Chains A and B, each alone.
Chain A
Amino acid sequence: MSALATPFAPISAGRKRKDKVMRGLLAAATGVALVPLVLILYYLLKKGAGALSWHMLTSDPTGSFLGDPGGIKSAILGTVTMVALATAIAVPIGVGVALYLVEYGKESRFASVVRYFVDVMTGVPSIVFGLFIYITLVTSDLFSKGYAGWKGAVALSLLMLPVVTRSSEVVLALVPDSLREAALALGAPRWRVIARVVLPTAAPGLITGSLLAIARAAGETAPLLFTSALVFGTSFDLGHQMNSMPVQIFNDVGSARSEIVQRAWGTALTLVVMILLLTMAARLIARRSRVS
């Protein structure tokens, strides 16, 4: 009947091979992409776990060339303090701008311009933000010359701002209009609708976005290099130089003393653990609640 043994002329071996090879390559590439993560975590644990100790976490770095190099207490406290201040600045402003864009800015040209600028801001390198603060606050006579913890916090908040704004805008826009209309139809004024309906509904998403921004800010070094700088002693005085974990690591990396280098690993491990915890918390909150 038919000339062939089967009507399904098998596809050429070349095509079959190519398919297999390419699929294998794609899978291999994925594996390659994941190797660095594994390696980094491995080395962090291997070299950093040994450095961790109660002493290390609770004493300040001494900055001395010989003798006990000290721990990283001031770095940890400095990071926590400055990031907290940065959050207190960036989150209200960021959510505020996002609220503007969603509630009032649906059609306005001005809002599109703002949105575009914020979007572009997310791509600005962190060192440029540090530079901004350096020339406007550190070297100018505006408040007081010199490095200060609060200036570092402001630089961090600049970094966080576009991230918080963008993620908040997405979350706020997901709140269904029907909820707003129901509240408005009951006679509630706009501000109350925002405060009582929109914000609470969007809260989990807003928190997630903020946590991720915090995680990012906690790891930043460049903006702090010339705003809060490096100092060894602990202080909560935001008006003066303040230590932070990333800057401490940066300082310790090139040290000739192996204990200090190991301290850098330990600090790095602590920092990464902190950031991972923040990231996981953000994911958990995001997963537990979805705006339907």
Chain B
Amino acid sequence: MSMTTINPPTTSTTPLPTEQPTQAKAVELHGLRAFYGDKEAVKGVDLTFAAGQVTALIGPSGCGKSTLVRCINRMHEEVRGARAEGNVTLDGHDVYASGVDVTAVRRAIGMVFQKPNPFPTMSIRDNVASGLRLTGRKGRDLDERVEKALRGAGLWDEVKDRLGDPGAGLSGGQQQRLCIARTIAVEPEVILMDEPASALDPIATLRIEELVGELKARYTIVIVTHNMQQAARVADTTAFMLNGELVEHDDTQKMFTKPDDQRTEDYVTGKFG
């Protein structure tokens, strides 16, 4: 059986170059439902993403995992006719509370997308700085933060001599790390990753996975993936979704060796996918 090839995740405890007090916070979902018009894509999910840990979200195509994640930073409602119900809290504060500014939510909860999307007309530096410029940071302070973000994304050494080059001129893997740098530059508390490596080659993928391990101490990370080996490599806990419902959520080790639910076991052993 393929069980024996799955390795337990390695917990990385390497401190980052500039030590910061941890700012990771926990995200909790209570009874989250998401709709596209009349169609219910997420059907009442209760789930906790522990602070400072990596949680993987797995499941077959169309099970609602991307939709669920987009509800956390309220990107879901950008789609016409889409809405969400229920409760999503960051460190106990409801993200959907009335009076909460959605742009502030997205500041605190960052997102990395499946296809790397650096701004095509901006240089590497400007890309990383783009989020910072929104709050009016300038000058020396800006440059320092750009460097810090690029180091945090493991990209600094490769681009430090060409910060003025167009962001779109990098390779796919580098572009994705650039997007990660852009995301962490604004110092969120949570990073959502929607299949961040699925458009990349295997070597770039491994590099991203390493990065996730380095980042998790400071951020709460949720990573949607259709690649179970990847979940096994990077995630502390894993949640399995099927048809809009949360089937099981547990330590990654347990999910892949001795899951409680039969459906989980079927998926994880490849009976359907």
Contact = CB atoms under 8 A, between A and B. Distances in A.
A2 interface: yes
B100 interface: yes
B90 A7 contact: yes
Contacts of B105: 8
Interface residues of A, number: 11
A1 B107 CA distance: 19
Contact of B108 (A8, A12, A15, A16): A8
Contacts of B189: 7
A16 B102 CA distance: 11
A8 to B, nearest CB: 4
Interface string A1-43: 1100011111110011000000000000000000000000000
Given A1-B91, A2-B91, A10 B101 contact: yes
A11 B25 contact: no
Contact of A11 (B90, B91, B93, B107): B107
B107 A15 contact: no
Contacts of B95: 8
Interface string A176-215: 0000000000000000000000000000000000000000
Contacts of A1: 91-92
A12 B90 contact: no
Interface in B86-122: 90-93, 95, 100-101, 103-105, 107-108
B1 interface: no
Given A1-B91, A2-B91, A11 B101 contact: yes
A8 B25 contact: no
Nearest to B104: A8
B101 A7 contact: no
B135 interface: yes
B134 interface: yes
Nearest to B90: A7
Interface of A: 1-2, 6-12, 15-16
19 contacts: A1-B91, A1-B92, A6-B93, A7-B90, A7-B91, A7-B93, A7-B108, A7-B189, A8-B90, A8-B93, A8-B100, A9-B108, A10-B101, A10-B104, A11-B101, A11-B104, A11-B135, A12-B136, A16-B101
